[in-house]
C-alpha cells in the first residue's frame, strides 16, 4: 500500500510543468496607468503627507459645522420638570421631582464614574441619556393623563436608570464596556437583578429612539477646542514647561466647570455648545488669561456677546460648588478635580464681583495684546501636596465667607442671577 502511494506521488511530480523563473519586470507593468520609467502617477510620499494649515482650518470649520448640525437635530426639552403632571411625577410614589433630586442623581453618577473608572465622555453622554429618559417619561405621563389612562411603562428607580445610562454610554463611546455584573454589584450593591438592568436598557434606548449618534454633549465641543489649542502646542514644541503647565491648567479648569454645569438643571435650556463656550471663557477669567471675542469665537463658535446668560449661570454654579466644598459637603466633581493630576482645578477661587484682581489683568490684556498674540503667564513654583490641600480648603472657605458677607451686605455680584436652582428649586 505504501509502495503504491510512493509511486503515485512520483508520477504526479513527473507530470507537473517545470517551474518558471520569476519575471524580470514587475507585474504592475500590465496596468495601463503605470510607467516603469516614471513610477506611479501619485508618489507614495504624497499619500501620507502632512496637511497644510489651510487644510487643517477647513477641516476644523467643517467639523464644527457638523457638530452644530447634529446639536440642532437632537435637542432636549430643558424644562421637563415643570411639565410633570400631578400624581404622575418622576419622584418616589409618582411625586413631582425637584431639581435638587436631579442634582443628587448627577452627583452620584459622577462619583460612580470615578469608582468604575469611566472617562469624562461617558459621564457627559450618560447624563444626557438620563435627561432624555426623564423628559420622555414626563411626555408619556402627560399624554396618558390627557387621555385618562395610566402610563404603560413601569416606574424605574432613578439610581437604576442612572447606572444603566452610564453602562449604555460606555458601550457606545468605546465599543466595549464593563460587564453588567460590575454595574449591578459595584454600583447598585446587588439590589437589582440582571433582568432589571436589561429591561431598563431597552426602555432607555426606546426613549431616545435609538439615536445615540446624534446626541452631542459639551465634551465634544471642548475636545475640538483643545485639540488645536495654539498655546499648548506651541509651548510643547518649544519645550516651555511654564506655558505648557498654564495650558494644562486651562484644560482641567474648563473640564471641571463643564462637569459642574451638569449638576444645574437651569443649564439644560442652553445648547451644549454654549455651555462649553461659557466654561472655556470662565476658565480664562479665573486664571487671568487674556482672550478676545475673536479668539473665543474661533475656538468655540461663540463670542463674548453670545454667552451672556449661560456664562452668568455657570459663574454662579461655580460659586455654589466651591461653597459646598468649603462647608465640607463637597460634590463629586469638586473632589475629582482637587488632585495634583488635575492641576488642582477645584482650588481656583470663584469670581464674586468686578473687584476681583484677576479681571483688570484680563481687561488690560485685551486692550494691549493684539488678537491671537495673548500668551500665558508663567506659573509660580507649586508648594508641597500637603500645603496645596490646605491652601485649597482655605481658598474655598475664604470664597464662601466672602460670598456670605456679600449676601449679608445686600450686594449681589455683578452679572449674577441669584441662587441656582440647584439649591433653590424652581416651583
Radius of gyration of the chain (CA): 29
Range of the domain at 159: 97-215
Q: What is the pLDDT of residues 41-74, one digit of tens each?
A: 444 444 455 677 788 888 888 999 999 999 999 9
Grid cell 434606548 in the structure block, residue: 205
Name the nearest CA neighbour of 131 among 175, 85, 157, 162: 162
Q: Which pLDDT band, with edges at 50, 70 and 90, does 229 fall under?
A: low
Which residue's entry shows cell 500668551? 375
Residue 395 sits in a domain whose CATH number is 1.10.472.10
Average pLDDT over residues 369-376: 32
The per-residue pLDDT of the chain, averaged, comes to: 76
Question: Are 118 and 105 in a shared domain?
Answer: yes
Q: Is residue 264 part of a domain?
A: yes
**214 vs 273: CA distance, rounded Å:** 14
Dump pLDDT digits (tens) for 202-221.
999 999 999 999 999 999 99
Q: Does the pLDDT at position 188 exceed 50?
A: yes
| pLDDT of res. 326 | 94
Are 157 and 294 contained in the same domain?
A: no
- 181 and 303 in a common domain: no
Predicted confidence band of residue 169 (pLDDT cuts 50, 70, 90): very high
Terminal Cα distance for the chain, rounded: 96
Domain C-terminal end among 152, 184, 215:
215
pLDDT recorded at residue 410 = 37
Regarding pTM above 0.85, the answer is no
Q: Are residues 245 and 389 in the same domain?
A: yes
316 in the same domain as 237? yes
* pLDDT level of residue 228 (50, 70, 90 thresholds): low
Query: Number of folded domains in the chain?
Result: 2
Average pLDDT over residues 330-346: 95
Does residue 287 belong to any structural domain of this protein? yes
Q: Write the pLDDT tens digit of every residue in 16-45.
A: 555 555 554 444 444 444 444 444 444 444
List C-alpha distances in Å: 337 to 200, 267, 380, 392. 31, 21, 20, 11
Amino acid at each position: 500500500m505504501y509502495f503504491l502511494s510512493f509511486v503515485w506521488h512520483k508520477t504526479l511530480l513527473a507530470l507537473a510543468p517545470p517551474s518558471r523563473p520569476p519575471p524580470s519586470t514587475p507585474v504592475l507593468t500590465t496596468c495601463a496607468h503605470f510607467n516603469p520609467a516614471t513610477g506611479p502617477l501619485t508618489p507614495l510620499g504624497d499619500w501620507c503627507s502632512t496637511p497644510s494649515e489651510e487644510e487643517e482650518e477647513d477641516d476644523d470649520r467643517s467639523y464644527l459645522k457638523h457638530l452644530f448640525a447634529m446639536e440642532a437635530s437632537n435637542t432636549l426639552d430643558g424644562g421637563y420638570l415643570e411639565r410633570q403632571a400631578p400624581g404622575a411625577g418622576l419622584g418616589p410614589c409618582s411625586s413631582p421631582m425637584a431639581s435638587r433630586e436631579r442634582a443628587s442623581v448627577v452627583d452620584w453618577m459622577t462619583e460612580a464614574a470615578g469608582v468604575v473608572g469611566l472617562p469624562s465622555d461617558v459621564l457627559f453622554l450618560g447624563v444626557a441619556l438620563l435627561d432624555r429618559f426623564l423628559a420622555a417619561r414626563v411626555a408619556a405621563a402627560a399624554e396618558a393623563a390627557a387621555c385618562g389612562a395610566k402610563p404603560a411603562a413601569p416606574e424605574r428607580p432613578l439610581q437604576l436608570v442612572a447606572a444603566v445610562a452610564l453602562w449604555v454610554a460606555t458601550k457606545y463611546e468605546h465599543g466595549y464596556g464593563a460587564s453588567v455584573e460590575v454595574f449591578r454589584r459595584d454600583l447598585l450593591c446587588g439590589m437589582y437583578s440582571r433582568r432589571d438592568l436589561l429591561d431598563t436598557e431597552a426602555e432607555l434606548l426606546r426613549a431616545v429612539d435609538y439615536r445615540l449618534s446624534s446626541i452631542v454633549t459639551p465634551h465634544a465641543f471642548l475636545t475640538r477646542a483643545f485639540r488645536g489649542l495654539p498655546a499648548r502646542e506651541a509651548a510643547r514644541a518649544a519645550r516651555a514647561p511654564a506655558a505648557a503647565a498654564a495650558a494644562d491648567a486651562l484644560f482641567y479648569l474648563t473640564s471641571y466647570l463643564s462637569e459642574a454645569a451638569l449638576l444645574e438643571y437651569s443649564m439644560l435650556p442652553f445648547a451644549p455648545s454654549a455651555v462649553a463656550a461659557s466654561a472655556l471663557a470662565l476658565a480664562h477669567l479665573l486664571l487671568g488669561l487674556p482672550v478676545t471675542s475673536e479668539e473665543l469665537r474661533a475656538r468655540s463658535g461663540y463670542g463674548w456677546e453670545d454667552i451672556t446668560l449661560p456664562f452668568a449661570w455657570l459663574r454662579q454654579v461655580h460659586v455654589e460648588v466651591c461653597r459646598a466644598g468649603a462647608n465640607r459637603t463637597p460634590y463629586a466633581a469638586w473632589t475629582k478635580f482637587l488632585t495634583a493630576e488635575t492641576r488642582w482645578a477645584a482650588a481656583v477661587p470663584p469670581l464674586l464681583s468686578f473687584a476681583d484682581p484677576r479681571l483688570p489683568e484680563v481687561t488690560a490684556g485685551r486692550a494691549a495684546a493684539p488678537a491671537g498674540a495673548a500668551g500665558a503667564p508663567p506659573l509660580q513654583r507649586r508648594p508641597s501636596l500637603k500645603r496645596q490641600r490646605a491652601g485649597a480648603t482655605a481658598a474655598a472657605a475664604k470664597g464662601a465667607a466672602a460670598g456670605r458677607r456679600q449676601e449679608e451686605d445686600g450686594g449681589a455680584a455683578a452679572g449674577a442671577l441669584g441662587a441656582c436652582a440647584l439649591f433653590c428649586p424652581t416651583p
